[in-house]
Amino acid sequence: TAATVAAGMFTATQTVAAEACDPGEVVIKFSHVVSATGHPKGDFATALAERVNTEMNGKACMQVFPSSQLFDDDKVMEALLLGDVQIAAPSLSKFEAYTLKYRVFDLPFLFSDMNAVNNFTQGPTGQELLGAMSDIGFVGLGYVYNGIKHFSANKPLLTPADAAGLKFRVQTSDVAVAMIEAMEANAQKLAFKEVYGALQTGVVDGQENTWSNIYTKKFFEVQDGITETSHQLLSYLAVTSQEWLDSLDPEVRDQFVTIFTEVTNEANARSSAINEANKQKIIESGVEVRTLTPEQREQWVVVMKPVWAKFADDIGQDVIDAAVAANN
């Protein structure tokens, strides 16, 4: 079966038991790029599969493929349309080939905290954005949160001037490129699975990510320290294809979507705690976590915020205004 073939590709430490599906069950493959455990998205996928496989046994069966074992985030979108996977959850920064509206989520220093993010995603504008790719055949099932991102490099970063001239890995996001260029640094787009090696070999000097990505992919081991810049959101869009959703028996579809929504809400309520736990593990490892004084933080804001204006037309000022209003 597909599960056996895929499981054979895993090394012992990476093995995740891909559920063996019974004949007649709808097979739901969920491919993602992060660690299977101790991570907001990895834990979400595991919890989702557990519930689907228990409560929908005989009707549906979910197999999870973590750590880029099946697809990178750029390939997974094509795979969804081809029916090779049914669920993906790339970062909202990675949808530029399909819609420019999600650039709003990448604007630096936009959301004051995860409550503001939640206000926006659950409000009318956030809900409308779930359908931003319907013309291509993608459906947003919901937002799955990771958290707020921080910078790290192979030297101490306290002000944006410290980052000038360095090369930073970014996701496939032009907002991120503009942000790094505003710091007079250089951006290099790389797939997530390439980041550790690129940091280790000096292909790039630094990166920006959440505590959970920095810890579970060991980026902290090959960096001088992490600076708590809290400059940008990392959230995922759980996405599927309209064609697949429409192909489901209505009762199966309703049950799946209900489970999906419940598991998403539970995962989102846990995401900040998971990031905090990962931050503590980084601190315990002895790697320096640097906090900024209000004056230092203001320097990052002053350098990065002008980036917003470049993307206002793509996003729509009304969407930006709704996101800003979610901070209140």
- Identify the residue whose tokens are 């931003």: 132
Q: Closest by alpha carbon to 147, among 49, 267, 285? A: 267
Q: Which of 33, 64, 153, 157 binds ligand LMR (CB under 6 A)?
A: 33
Q: Where do runs of H (alpha helix) occur along the chain?
A: 2-9, 40-55, 73-82, 114-122, 124-129, 160-163, 174-182, 195-201, 211-216, 242-247, 250-284, 294-304, 307-315, 317-325
Rounded distance between C-alpha atoms, residue 216 and residue 177, angstroms: 24
**184 contacts: CB under 8 Å, gap ≥ 6:** 160, 163, 164, 165
**Smallest gap from residue 205 Cβ to ligand LMR (A):** 16
Sequence-separated (6 or more) residues with CB below 8 Å from residue 82: none
Distance CA 85, CA 76 (A): 8
Q: Site for ligand LMR (CB under 6 A): which residue of 35, 99, 152, 209?
A: 209
Q: How far apart are CA 302 and CA 28, in angstroms?
A: 45
| 143 vs 192 by CB, closer to ligand LMR | 192
Options 86, 125, 171, 271; binder of ligand LMR; rule CB under 6 A: 171
Q: Does 213 bind ligand LMR (CB under 6 A)?
A: yes
In the bound state with ligand LMR, the residue whose beta carbon lies nearer, of 61 and 110, is: 110
Dihedral sign for Cα 86, 92, 96, 100, please: positive
Among positions 3-22, residues that touch ligand LMR (CB under 6 A) are none
Task: Report if residue 177 touches ligand LMR, rule: CB under 6 A.
Answer: no
70 binds ligand LMR, rule: CB under 6 A: no
Q: What binding mask, one character per residue, do residues 73-112 give for ligand LMR by CB under 6 A, x or -?
A: ------------------x---------------------
Name the residue with the smallest CB distance to ligand LMR: 91
To ligand LMR, the closest distance from the beta carbon of 107 in angstroms equals 16
Stretch that binds ligand LMR, among 16-24, 33-41, 110-118, 273-281 (CB under 6 A): 33-41
- Which are the contacts of 42, defined by CB distance < 8 A and separation ≥ 6? 32, 34, 35, 36, 66, 216
CB of 316 to ligand LMR, least distance (A): 24
Select 33 or 185, whichever has its Cβ closest to ligand LMR.
33
> Is 192 near ligand LMR (CB under 6 A)?
yes
141-170 residues near ligand LMR, rule: CB under 6 A: 146
Which residue of 16, 28, 34, 307 would you call a contact of ligand LMR, by CB under 6 A?
A: 34
Residue 160 has what DSSP assignment?
H
* Residue with Cβ nearer ligand LMR (33 or 320): 33
Minimum CB distance to ligand LMR, residue 186 (Å): 17
Q: How far apart are CA 84 and CA 93, in angstroms?
A: 23
Using CB under 6 A as the criterion, what x/- string covers residues 224-253 for binding ligand LMR? ----------x-------------------
What value, to the nearest 5°, has the Cα angle with vertex 147 and ends 53 and 182?
140
Closest to ligand LMR by CB, 21 vs 71, is 71
Residues that bind ligand LMR (CB under 6 A): 33-34, 41, 91, 146, 171, 192, 209, 213, 234
